[in-house]
């Protein structure tokens, strides 16, 4: 396996804690995604993640979020399509059959993967790595002070920097800039 193949293969990242959170079923009429074979972590009350959109075993997009992965709808087993949860936005925000694909990241991803996602359920999948939320205890004006910090953004950049450094490229749906 070449360095490029290894660094874009999701199995390389399982040792880091990546696991599949859902497979994708694309709607041929509206381009929205249904997330199937969901892992319970999709609806975990946690807000620090690095995620990968995967086709087969190839990572096509690495991203990060400081939001919940999913907020479950009341009447279905799907995430709410809104900006307060990352996978809900990815699965259904915007219209792939309009000009939205030119300006919106989630529409661009679904548009680029539409044909592959239609081929069969599971060809496109979502993988995630849970990042710790770090508790910092200190003092503020002599009083005990506690705050929290995350590192998902730094971890996403570290993955992309290594891929770029060793291969000269990035996953096909990541912007050129890192």
3-167 carries CATH number 1.10.340.70: no
Q: What is the pLDDT of residue 37?
A: 96
- Give the Cα separation of 109 and 172 in Å (integer): 10
108-118 pLDDT tens trace: 999 999 999 99
67-110 pLDDT tens trace: 999 999 989 999 999 889 999 999 998 888 887 667 788 999 99
Residues 8, 14, 20, CA angle at the centre, nearest 5°? 90
- Give the Cα separation of 35 and 86 in Å (integer): 13
47-57 pLDDT tens trace: 999 999 999 99
Q: What is the pLDDT of residue 164?
A: 94
* Residue in the structure block whose two tokens are 């996403």: 156
- Give the Cα separation of 131 and 126 in Å (integer): 16
| Residue 71 CB contacts under 8 Å (≥ 6 apart), including other chains | 43, 79, 80, 82, 84, 85, 88
Q: If you average pLDDT over residues 131-141, what whole number do you get?
A: 94
Q: What is the pLDDT of residue 53?
A: 98
Q: What number of other Cβ atoms are within 10 A of residue 121's Cβ?
A: 15
- Average per-residue pLDDT for the chain: 92
Q: What is the pLDDT of residue 55?
A: 97
- Give the Cα separation of 131 and 159 in Å (integer): 14
- Give the Cα separation of 78 and 72 in Å (integer): 6
**Per-domain boundaries in the chain:** 3-167
Q: Which two tokens stand for residue 156?
A: 């996403």
Residue 2 binned pLDDT confidence (cut-offs 50, 70, 90)? confident
Phi first, then psi: give them for residue 33, nearest 5 degrees.
Answer: -105, 140
Q: What is the pLDDT of residue 121?
A: 87
12-44 pLDDT tens trace: 999 999 999 999 999 999 999 999 999 999 999
């Amino acid at each position: 396996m070449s360095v490029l193949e290894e660094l874009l293969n999701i199995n390389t990242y399982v040792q880091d804690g990546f696991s599949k959170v859902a497979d994708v079923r694309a709607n041929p009429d509206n381009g929205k995604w249904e997330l199937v074979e969901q892992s319970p972590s999709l609806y975990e009350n946690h807000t620090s993640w690095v995620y990968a959109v995967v086709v087969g075993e190839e990572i096509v997009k690495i991203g990060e979020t400081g939001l919940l992965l999913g907020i479950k709808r009341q009447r279905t087993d799907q995430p709410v399509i809104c900006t307060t949860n990352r996978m809900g936005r990815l699965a259904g925000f915007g219209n792939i059959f309009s000009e939205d694909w030119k300006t919106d990241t989630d529409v661009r991803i679904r548009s680029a993967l539409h044909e592959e996602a239609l081929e069969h359920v599971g060809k496109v999948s979502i993988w995630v790595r849970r990042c710790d939320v770090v508790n910092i205890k200190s003092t503020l004006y002599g009083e005990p002070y506690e705050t929290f910090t995350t590192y998902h953004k730094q971890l996403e950049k570290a993955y992309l920097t290594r891929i770029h450094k060793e291969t000269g490229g990035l996953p096909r749906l990541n912007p050129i800039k890192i």
